[in-house]
Chains A and B, each alone.
Chain A
């Protein structure tokens, strides 16, 4: 089964670490895996000690692992250039300047970045046939949630635009009853065609996210992170997306029982608090804990990755969103 796996969570909880570790596990299990970083502050490069670009590139030292870092800026520029090229073909030079301004404006609006990121998202999901698993390392909760809510939201907008356009074209056709040529015609209207193409894109994204994707939230054993995760689960469910599980990261390692001293006492206390919080997570969330990862001494990269991957209890073969976690 083809699956997209998303890792999300509050900023700094270790989404990149967990998603890289998971990708490592998938790749080791022989799955053709792709890691996609959508966080504008990319850090996959740091984990694998290798630079990645906007196109999938094989990760050194792995047989079946590739990675890419989506750069929305590049996509915005590409989109802008595409439109300008289409303008050159369609529009007489006299009007170009006037319209140029509008196009530039549209590419500077706050939504442009998100839209561009979303377009790349869809591209990646469309061209994912050669991969058995695509792991998304997403940006901190807020951004991702907005991104994932886009299909529904924008779909509604495009619907309204289509309706309006259909209405005006219909009226133009009616005004031309008799043997006059109508000013606009529904058949072959490039506007309607464009909008419908966009709509189909959004529908594809919505469907894929609902049916072919699994979401995991990374949580740290502290109050803030747990609260944010609870909100994130709620919002995701509002959009009709089910969270398959939680991954607890950054747990304090317990000292040996015979150790006494300030450090050991601190660690023991800290562990007790964390255990309590973990218990709360286990009891109050519907989602299962799909992994408990302790803090490592150094940055997680290289050999550490295999180590962390071993702590992850996410099924590598088929993290089916329907069986991966209980639906609420």
Chain B
């Protein structure tokens, strides 16, 4: 019972941060999503010790464990967009493959250059 109450209180705190950040974005017209600002704000609050890890971690861990659940209702929206995949399948595939390969190389190359001394692993 105590656990449920704690989860609810922690979720309310996360929600409060999200709500404030969303209102801030609406008020300022900033072209950045409220949830992105929310992550940065909570991270800063944790770093400055305003919010302690034990104030949010149970709710955060629980919600993140089931994060993919929230994606399902959004993905169901695809039922109205089937034809796009028939009409433009090849272009979409090319865009996704190319835009994965190039950043794979970019990220790997830059990090490896900066940390050359460290031991490589054998995958």
A, B co-complexed: no
